[in-house]
Amino acid sequence: MLFPRLTQLDLTAPLEVFGRMAGVEISLIWKTLDPVASDRGLRLLPTHTFEAAPALDLICVPGGPGQIDLMDDAETLAFLRAMAPKCRWVTSVCTGSLVLAAAGLLTGYRATSHWSSIDQLALFGATPVSERVVRDRNRITGAGVTSGIDFGLAVAAEVLGAEAASRIRLQIEYDPPALPGGSPATADPAVLTPVQQAMAGFIAKRRAASEAAARRLHAHQT
């Protein structure tokens, strides 16, 4: 699924893996067919509208700053609620999991998200898990941004088997060296603190949106 101000790597990292899976057709779905601008200005072209979306085996929701608006977007949440029961896998990368959660699709599930906002999943009755990729039944969620590659390979292994996923990994030369510091658990405090401070205002905005969306979800469920 596309949306304005998504983080493009949340979408393009798994898309790179999915596009190398035999027999796969990829649809980029949004409300209109107009170009959709990412949070860094990259313009992406939808292939289908919500109304014309084909039957899906898997739906994937990326994250990014535009995710905040989606949690109060009745049309988007209704689309996800309608599509999810027909999908074999319901998935997300980064804060896309908060959109799934706002639609009520992660209630009672273990899930992950970007480290800065993973705690917000609990507002929707999900269990936050600080892992790179989390699977709970047919829900598969990836952590922040670059986790989209790990997520895509996990999906490939689930769909096609471990050997096929290994071949794709080799094709894209995904062989990261040991490089700690990319999560709060491994980051130097001298790096972590200013990053947290710089993100604090935006995270507060996201949490306020999550709290409001959680209230709407609980009202919807009752």
* Assigned domain for 2 exists: no
Cα–Cα distance measured from residue 166 to residue 210, given in angstroms and rounded to the nearest whole number = 37
Quick one: pLDDT at residue 34? Answer: 98
Q: What is the pTM of this model?
A: 0.94
Stretch (H or E) spanning 43: strand 43-44
Q: Among residues 36, 94, 133, 168, which one is catalytic?
A: 94
Closest to 109 in 3D by CA, of 77, 143, 137, 79: 137
| CB contact set of 180 (below 8 Å; sequence gap of 6+) | 186
* Assigned domain for 89 exists: yes
Cα–Cα distance measured from residue 56 to residue 79, given in angstroms and rounded to the nearest whole number = 12
* Assigned domain for 150 exists: yes
Residues forming a β-bridge with 58 = 89
Quick one: pLDDT at residue 181? Answer: 84
* Assigned domain for 137 exists: yes
> DSSP letters of 5-30?
T--HHHHHHHHHHHTTSTT-----EE
The pair phi, psi for residue 58, each rounded to 5°, is -140, 135
Quick one: pLDDT at residue 176? Answer: 82
Segment 120-169, tens digit of pLDDT: 999 999 999 999 999 999 999 999 999 999 999 999 999 999 999 999 99
List the chain residues with pLDDT less than 50.
none
Which sign, positive or negative, has the C-alpha torsion 122, 124, 126, 129?
Answer: negative
Q: What is the CATH number of the domain that holds 141?
A: 3.40.50.880
With contact defined as beta carbons under 8 Å apart, do 46 and 30 qualify? yes
Establish whether 87 is a catalytic residue: no
* Assigned domain for 139 exists: yes
Which range marks the domain in which residue 150 is found?
8-221
* Assigned domain for 3 exists: no
What is the number of structural domains in the chain?
Answer: 1
Quick one: pLDDT at residue 180? Answer: 78
* Assigned domain for 212 exists: yes
In this structure, what DSSP letter does residue 54 have?
P
* Assigned domain for 1 exists: no
